[in-house]
Amino acid sequence: MKSINVKIPATSEQNYQIKIGSDLLGTVIANVRSFYPKHAFFLVTDGELIKAGHVDKLIAGQTIAGRYVIEPAGEISKHIGTVGAIIEAMEAANLGRDTVVLALGGGVVGDVAGFAASIFKRGVPVVQVPTTTVSQADSAIGGKTGVDSSISKNAFGTFWNPFAVYVDVATLKTLNERQFRAGLVESVKHSLIMDAGYFEFIEQNLDKVLAREPGVLEEIAGRNCSIKAGVVEKDPYEKNIRCILNYGHTIGHAVESASNYEILHGEAVGIGIIAAGLIEKQLGLVKDGRLERVRNVLKKLDIGLKMPEYMDKARVFELLRSDKKSVGQVPRFVLLEQIGSVCSVGGQYAVEVGADVIKNVLDEL
């Protein structure tokens, strides 16, 4: 088992560990209980995790005070109403500030449970137990929580660092193929922004990753978590450099919203990564054929690299105005200088791109 420490500046109380391995679920509650012996445990999960047997493995004879099962599973339930329902379920169980929330699931479960934990009784500990490629690579690490509005993605949320994160790669065995492949786009993103060697590793080992070989899955989980932790430590509240983790997400989030979340997050980010590459090409930042290398990896993941024909380009462009990196409703983009390195202009990592360039790229997509 591998451990990665995440150190949050200014306060040691918010430091936490990420533990990575295989078949860890049965150890989670006992391990956390050793730090919180008198706390009650409340589980947030979804029906798919119950069917897969992961809930039984997590509880493994331990006592929990209650649970909330998110139904239906997925982005459709990532809204403020679900957060309210979780809090009311905790209230109904007579829970107080001596509660630990266990978030067992993918990105939606982690975001919603973390948000609920951050505002229940003004904040209780949350333990993230991610079970998908996207949550193990990205969303469970870093302390960002959030839910969607009727207009845009992640419109409401908080920063609430977990007490701990347990990455059990064995949970990926039960993930359906589409979810598994889509979530790997976040791994590609990490390599593109921070580590050219990691990108080469993905290129060379993608068949083993897709075969879900445990050793390779642990390797990519470790690399993802190390990259994410390193960025979060420098900028825990997304004031500047942390925005590089949003590479491919600007147009990606807009596409995801415009599809009414029929397109998975990773699939939309894949389109967004190609969009960012096309912007880089128009701005003269692509000099080494890297866009083709990126295309080839995403194609092997079976990620569609164009917007669906039904999608309204004007709607996508309008959604860019509400992106969290926008200033004065002008969208800003994280762009690559080269594989493993992002552009910085005047010390800022999200740069303004002209509307004409964006519209040209949307036409190409």
130, containing H or E segment? strand 126-130
Q: What is the SS3 assignment for 19?
A: strand
Which of these is catalytic: 203, 233, 238, 318?
A: 238
Respond yes or no: is residue 238 known to be catalytic: yes
Respond yes or no: is residue 242 known to be catalytic: yes
Which of these is catalytic: 54, 67, 253, 290?
A: 253
**120-156: buried (b, 16+ CB within 10 Å) or exposed (e) per residue?**
beeebbbbbbbbbbbbbbbbbbbbbbbbbeeebbbee
Under 8 Å CB-to-CB from 138, ≥6 apart: which residues? 107, 186, 189, 190, 224, 228, 245
Respond yes or no: is residue 228 known to be catalytic: yes
Respond yes or no: is residue 39 known to be catalytic: no
Respond yes or no: is residue 177 known to be catalytic: no
Respond yes or no: is residue 186 known to be catalytic: yes
Under 8 Å CB-to-CB from 186, ≥6 apart: which residues? 133, 134, 137, 138, 224, 266, 269
Which of these is catalytic: 75, 186, 218, 219?
A: 186
Task: Check whether the bond before 308 is cis (ω within 30° of 0).
Answer: no
Alpha-carbon gap, residue 109 to 128, rounded angstroms? 9
Which of these is catalytic: 57, 78, 190, 265?
A: 265
CB neighbourhood size of 335 (10 A): 22
Which of these is catalytic: 39, 54, 67, 144?
A: 144
Which of these is catalytic: 78, 153, 249, 290?
A: 249
Respond yes or no: is residue 321 known to be catalytic: no
Respond yes or no: is residue 79 known to be catalytic: no
227, containing H or E segment? helix 214-234
Which of these is catalytic: 57, 246, 256, 290?
A: 246
Alpha-carbon gap, residue 260 to 100, rounded angstroms? 33
Which of these is catalytic: 228, 290, 324, 325?
A: 228
Q: What is the SS3 assignment for 95?
A: coil
Q: How far is CA 362 from CA 157, 245, 248, 311, 322, in A?
A: 29, 22, 13, 11, 17
Q: How far is CA 229 from CA 55, 108, 112, 202, in A?
A: 27, 20, 21, 20
Active site residues: 122, 144, 186, 228, 238, 242, 246, 249, 253, 265
